[in-house]
Amino acid sequence: MSKLSCKILGTTFSNPIWLGSGTISDNKERVDKLLKSKAGAIIPRTTRFKYAPGRKAHPSYHLDINIDEKWIRNCEWTGNLINYWQSYLKELSKSKKIIMSVSGRDISNCLKVCKIIDKYNFPFIEINISCAHSNEINGFITRNSKHISTLVKILKKNIKTPIALKLGHSDFIVSLAKIAEESGIDAIVAINTYGPVIDFDISTGCPKLTLGIGNGKGGLSGKTIFHIALTDVVDLSQNLNIPIIACGGITKPEDAIKMIMAGASAVQIYSAVHLAGRQGIKFLNKFILDFNTWLDKYKYEDINDLKGMLLPLLSRPHHMGPIIPKYNQRLCIQCQACVNICLEGAISLLDNKIVINKNKCISCGACVSVCPTKALK
């Protein structure tokens, strides 16, 4: 099978499909089970030095899940403190698969936690400043260049373990990531949950339970944010010289392939595994197997052959001239999806054959994108 190993910040991982930080990795028992999976790395739930006032327990209610549409809205505020993890750090570091996630909201306490972790040989430390729900309450530090610069400089001055910074989406993500790079950060993880966003019950007009925030908002993750994350990974890859670790909306192997082609060195998947519930590890293992099968099918011998292959193709000029779709009758099943989608009435089915009126066609490409058999291209 294809070679999946990848070297990032000095550590070689068995594959680039990693489990991102979240509830399903929030204690030692769960992490031990996850370490038996095929995941290249496991990021336990974000830890910190102490709880913020009022955050010793989760708000109720804090998870809004949509299985069919594959998304989660959340407002998870707690996680085990570093004093819980401290006695396990030596053992966890030996796996070379654990990447500790630390809250970067309080710079002084973040440094204290990182100093504890720094005593052990972890591949790197992920610094989380970007949970959407808590950022609304704390002033969106994920968009605060001064906070980012100060945080990174202090950590790099005092910590020998490589540091990755986890950013959330914003219009300024590239400029903020470049500030982090200039300040010495070793890698960027993008993106965290999006928002926070609101949902409500139309039968009552009331927000769907508060999710811990009075206005009913929560951080959005899952399939619905994939293209936001993908675009950010492309933009970051084009502008930075440090590794980008992709995260956000990845639900199937093809999503991971796209992220790596867009320049990502590795891919974190979380919501899709969470939505699989108690079958999460089984889902994760199948995801990696299917990922490898895809590489074999398209004859990629090494995962690194995919990395960034999209980027040179993004410099093509704008194309304004008409391109009339080509039709392959042999592949056509006469479903007429193309006829239905053409708002210009340029496509018709005549004598069991698709006919394109070149005088009406505006070259929008809609018919090509909906054709299930690729009879149009």
Q: Which residues are catalytic?
A: 131
Say whether 368 sits in a helix, a strand or coil.
helix
Distance CA 161, CA 5 (A): 21
Closest alpha carbon to 302 in 2, 1, 24: 2
Sheet holding 266-269, edge to edge: 41-42, 17-19, 266-269, 244-247, 187-190, 163-167, 125-128, 100-103
Token pair belonging to 34 = 């996850």
Helical (H) or strand (E) element with 90: helix 89-93
Q: CA torsion 29→117→183→221, rounded to 10°?
A: 10
Backbone angles phi and psi of 347, in degrees to 5: -120, 135
Residues pairing with 222 in the sheet: 71
DSSP state of 141: G
